[in-house]
Amino acid sequence: MSDEDIVQETEERQPGISRRQLLGGTAAGLAAASAAAAVVRPAAAQPAARSDRVLLKGGTVLTMDRTLGDFAAADVLIDGARIAAIGPNLQAGGAEIIDAGHMIVMPGFVDTHRHMWEGQIRQILPDGGIREYVRTVLDGYGTAYRPQDAYIGDLLSALSAIDAGVTTLLDWSHIQTTPEHTDAVVKALQDSGARAVFAYGMPAGKPWWEDTSRHKYPGDISRLRRQYFNSDDQLLTLALAASGANPEIAAKEWAAARDVGARITIHANATIGKIASAVKLGPDTTYVHCAHWDDTAWKMVADSGGTVSFSPVSETIMGSQISPIQQALDVGIRPSLSADAETNAPNDLFSQMRAALISHNAMIIDRRDRGEKDLPKRLTARDVLEFATIEGAKANGLAAKIGSLVPGKQADIICLRKDRINVMPVKDPVGAVVLGMDTGNVDTVFIAGKARKRHGVLVGIDLKRIASEAVASQNYLASKVPT
């Protein structure tokens, strides 16, 4: 959609916004918003059920909504769990006012695939490839995990994600050795305060269909739906992490998920065509890595409305592939991003966005140097920022709630310091976020309107206790895993 199309569509939706005012905030560039600009409000605003109100005042606002665009200086009003209004000079009697004049205000980052149970063994394989990961982490440490280890691993990963500005994660949880492991992981997600998709996965060790003596995968997903996920009005939602080992197994996994209305996420390799012979591919499925797909597989997933998730850092560090971003774009799929395994990769999406830019542009350079003429366009900083926000929300099935700053959506918002030495003075806010910032710029984090980080510090978290439990767990696991 062109800038003119965006302007025309928005004038029809919001006749109080002038063409000049909106053009100052579209993807074409960030210009100063007029002080007289109309406030954007939901079409049928209803009184908030809760009275807590926060006004983020005077920040540079990146809405990540192509219709609303960006604001050089504007306010964001949080009313309860939702965004109430966006615009310059908002009046909000009784609201707490936060001076955001030195910050970029934007949606929280959305991670679509992370093995959160590995939190206390992060960075143990800085030089390991995929074989070392399977041998050491999945078949080694994973088989030694107790429920309390799964709990602290998930909690540590979730809190560090919030600290890095990631407000939503998909927990690709293949540590379901017993139902007690499952309950511990769900409890950790609840305790963290993060918005999360719990993707119920297989147990560590042997393939799930070879040893059913302890776990209850995938059938236990029906209990999880009843016990923990019986409401859509909560921070946690449910998915199933499928092995997709073969068509017969895939059919059982897909059926278990769809029987309870859960989304599906799968590490998808070149065998996806065989799996499609046994299950109906649909928009409820996210395909992770998409390694070594042929054109038929890409078209099949695109036609089904499926989404994809790439992990540019781990995919290259582990030596599996250069993320196939261009192949996804070629069939009309805009990808999402994820940290994958913290054993081999950083936990923040700043790193993933930069890695996506670098790997994609390196691919173009390689094709150019091999004499190809019909080269794809380079990714832009805004492209990868969309991958890390609104596209992630789509892949997690949450685009109606999060991923962009739109009145009526949930107030999952981060405030990034633009007065730190690593980015000051900021000329292009999108460039600053993608190319210059890191986790140290994350000053404030709201999830569903609740402050989870303020002034650069996590709110209400006993880090000493968590550190003690993490170290104890790490030491226990190390004693059980041969070196």
Tell me the residue type at 333.
Answer: I
Residue 73 φ then ψ, to 5°: -150, 120
CA 408 – CA 396 distance, rounded (Å) = 19
Q: Has residue 141 been placed in a domain?
A: yes
State both tokens at 84: 């109430």
Q: pLDDT at residue 465 above 80?
A: yes
Q: Decide if 114 contacts 338 (C-beta within 8 A).
A: yes
Residue range of the domain that includes 149: 109-395
Rounded to 10 deg, the angle between the 147-163 and 179-192 helix axes is 30
Mean of pLDDT values over 36-45? 45
Count of domains in the chain? Answer: 2
176-178-183-186 Cα dihedral, nearest 10 degrees: 0
92 and 230 share one domain: no
Q: pLDDT at residue 24 above 60?
A: no
Q: Has residue 466 been placed in a domain?
A: no
Residue 130, classed as helix, strand or coil, is: helix
114 and 93 share one domain: no
Q: Decide if 241 contacts 202 (C-beta within 8 A).
A: yes
Last residue of a domain, one of 343, 364, 395: 395
CA 98 – CA 162 distance, rounded (Å) = 19
Tens of pLDDT, residue by residue over 135-147, are 999 999 999 999 9
Q: Has residue 266 been placed in a domain?
A: yes
418 and 287 share one domain: no
CA 221 – CA 262 distance, rounded (Å) = 9
Last residue of a domain, one of 368, 395, 422: 395
Residue 26's pLDDT is 37
445 and 382 share one domain: no
Tens of pLDDT, residue by residue over 295-306, are 999 999 999 999
Q: pLDDT at residue 237 above 70?
A: yes
Tens of pLDDT, residue by residue over 104-148, are 999 999 999 999 999 999 999 999 999 999 999 999 999 999 999
Q: Has residue 63 been placed in a domain?
A: yes
Residue 5's pLDDT is 39
Q: pLDDT at residue 4 above 60?
A: no
Please give the share of the chain, as a percent, with pLDDT higher than 90: 84
Residue 239's pLDDT is 98
Mean of pLDDT values over 163-188? 98
Mean of pLDDT values over 60-77? 97
73 and 124 share one domain: no
pLDDT tier at 483, thresholds 50, 70, 90: low
CA 28 – CA 430 distance, rounded (Å) = 12
CA 426 – CA 403 distance, rounded (Å) = 23
Residue 1's pLDDT is 39
State both tokens at 47: 């009184």
Tens of pLDDT, residue by residue over 377-428, are 999 999 999 999 999 999 999 999 999 999 999 999 999 999 999 999 999 9
Cα distances (Å, whole numbers) of residue 431 to 103, 139, 426: 14, 41, 9
191 membership: H or E segment, kind and range: helix 179-192
Q: Has residue 263 been placed in a domain?
A: yes
338 and 212 share one domain: yes
Q: Has residue 481 been placed in a domain?
A: no
272 and 414 share one domain: no
Q: Has residue 359 been placed in a domain?
A: yes
Q: pLDDT at residue 449 above 90?
A: yes
Q: Has residue 464 been placed in a domain?
A: no
Q: pLDDT at residue 16 above 60?
A: no
From the list 156, 114, 125, the residue with the least C-alpha distance to 310 is 114
Residue in this structure with the two tokens 């609740």, named with its chain if needed:
450
State both tokens at 149: 């280890």
- 221: domain CATH number is 3.20.20.140
Q: What is the largest CA-CA distance in the chain?
A: 67
Residue 52's pLDDT is 87
Average pLDDT over all residues of the chain: 90
Last residue of a domain, one of 349, 367, 395: 395
Tell me the residue type at 466.
Answer: I
